[in-house]
Amino acid sequence: MSAETAMEDKLAQAEGLLLQGQDEPAEQLLARLAEDAEEYVDRNCPTTDEVQWFDFPTIFERLAYRRVESDPRELRDIGEPLERLYGDFALAEVHLGDYDGAMRALKQAIRWNPMNCEHRLNLADLYRVSGDMKEYLALTYSVFERASDAKHLARAFANFANWFASTKKPRVAAAALRAGRRLETGDSVLEAALKESKGTDHDPDEVSDAEAQELLGKEGLPDGANAEIAICLLMCATDAAGVGERDLATKLTVRARDLVGESAAMALLQLIRADDVDSKATRDSKGSDGSGSCASA
């Protein structure tokens, strides 16, 4: 049995304990597993000390860090179980009330998959609980750079609404909630925020879409936020069309067009399709032997 397979088996065992509510034994197993996994990676995958993982590295830095250009599947095989491991570890620590431990685990989960916005938003929540609003906002902003799921963007808008409401800017909070609501994702965090805002001074029904966009722009929300949202919607639309869900694909495409305009939406869609073609060509060129080495330069 390979080290990766053994780790997967133990990880499944720990997840079973979590589902049964046995948080303490699950946490102990995950802690041992994390230590063993990191030792295995250190032995088999050279790292680059110059990379600071928690500076929100790009996906390209992540690929360079593990130096497996010859076969990106090697990175995925190692990175995905470790990301999953640390995500579970964080959940166990939260259940046990160790928020510091949960924060450390989530930072490691982000280390192994900088593109997973769920980890970033969960870590942001822990920073908010601890009173560190600077990191709370930094993590929320970073979601706009990486989100591939509109639900993450909706939750990020809920975070901004919470921040603006707490800093006595109710109309901007209303604008953030309105922007999140337009995504129509059904995100539970956003839905709760929308419900609580009804009849208050930050009710999103009290601002128009145009005013909301103006207010958020003045507050310095990331440039191109609408384009990032449109990209997410168009990626989802492409996937929906690929499985025959034409009505859903059309609805998502219309939302993207409303955000950035007809010509920009078409340009973004062409970029997404071109990227899909390039990715497929790259995969095909790798062949099917899967012989890449994790330690290869």
Q: What is the CATH number of the domain that holds 35?
A: 1.25.40.10
Domain presence at residue 27: yes
Q: Are 257 and 231 in contact (CB under 8 A)?
A: no
Q: What's the pLDDT at 222?
A: 60
Of residues 253 and 24, more confidently modeled:
24
Residue 174 has which token pair?
């209303």
How do residues 11-35 score in pLDDT, each as one tens digit?
Answer: 889 989 999 999 999 999 999 888 8
Number of residues written out for the chain: 297
Domain presence at residue 202: no
Residue-number span of the structural domain to which 58 is assigned: 1-134
Of the ranges 8-22, 37-51, 166-180, 225-239, which one carries the lowest mean pLDDT score? Answer: 37-51
Q: What's the pLDDT at 207?
A: 93
Is the sign of the CA dihedral 168, 171, 177, 180 positive or negative? negative
Q: What's the pLDDT at 236?
A: 81
Q: What's the pLDDT at 50?
A: 35
Its pTM surpasses 0.75: no
Q: Return d(Cα 253, Cα 141) in angstroms, integer.
A: 24
Domain presence at residue 64: yes
Q: What's the pLDDT at 175?
A: 93
**What is the number of structural domains in the chain?**
1
Domain presence at residue 56: yes
State yes or no: pLDDT of 288 exceeds 70. Answer: no
Of residues 219 and 165, more confidently modeled:
165
Of the ranges 5-14, 181-190, 256-265, which one carries the lowest mean pLDDT score? Answer: 256-265
Domain presence at residue 293: no
* Relative orientation angle of helices 170-181 and 188-197, to the nearest 10 degrees: 140
How do residues 88-99 score in pLDDT, each as one tens digit?
Answer: 999 999 999 999
Q: Are 204 and 181 in contact (CB under 8 A)?
A: yes
How do residues 55-78 score in pLDDT, each as one tens digit?
Answer: 434 433 343 344 333 443 344 445
Of the ranges 36-40, 173-177, 249-253, 279-283, which one carries the lowest mean pLDDT score? Answer: 279-283
Domain presence at residue 81: yes
State yes or no: pLDDT of 87 exceeds 80. Answer: yes
Q: What's the pLDDT at 39?
A: 75
Token pair 């859903």 in the structure block, residue:
248
Domain presence at residue 128: yes
Domain presence at residue 113: yes
How do residues 197-208 score in pLDDT, each as one tens digit?
Answer: 999 999 999 999
Q: Are 90 and 126 in contact (CB under 8 A)?
A: no
pLDDT band at 52 (very low <50, low <70, confident <90, very high): very low
Q: What's the pLDDT at 51?
A: 35
Task: Name the burial class of residue 74, with classes exposed (0-12), middle (13-18) and buried (19+) by CB atoms within 10 angstroms of its CB.
Answer: buried
Of residues 7 and 148, more confidently modeled:
7
pLDDT band at 3 (very low <50, low <70, confident <90, very high): low
Nearest Cα to 92, choosing from 40, 131, 34, 136? Answer: 34
